[in-house]
Amino acid sequence: MSENIKMQVKANGSIKVTGAVDFVDAEGKIVTTKENFSLCRCGHSKEKPMCDGSHRDAGFEAPAL
Ligand code: FES
């Protein structure tokens, strides 16, 4: 049984992922597995797809869910 992955949308920020996730390439090959990280949703990160905190300096404001 796989672990339950949690994705939490942060107010005016990233999407926090809690749990282990396999990152796969276009052919479905696992490139890496990461645990407990944040995905960028503002488009300003220099470490995409990960959040690097740039949303704060960019003044990112997300629409309400
Ligand atoms: S959400 Fe943090 S850098 Fe984009």
Is residue 65 in some structural domain?
Answer: no
**What atom of ligand 1 comes closest to residue 13's alpha carbon?**
1
The residues near 2 (Cβ < 8 Å, ≥ 6 apart) are none
Cα–Cα distance for residue pair 8/6, rounded to 1 Å = 6
Q: Which amino acid, residue 39? A: L
Is residue 22 in some structural domain?
Answer: yes
Is residue 10 in some structural domain?
Answer: yes
Is residue 14 in some structural domain?
Answer: yes
Quick check: 59 pLDDT over 90? yes
Mean pLDDT taken over the chain: 93
Domain count, the chain: 1
Is residue 11 in some structural domain?
Answer: yes
The reported pTM is: 0.85
Pocket residue to mutate for ligand 1, from 7, 16, 44, 47, most atoms within 8 A of Cβ: 44
Determine the pLDDT at residue 2.
63
Is residue 63 in some structural domain?
Answer: no
Pocket residue to mutate for ligand 1, from 47, 54, 57, 61, most atoms within 8 A of Cβ: 54
pLDDT band at 12; cut points 50, 70, 90: very high
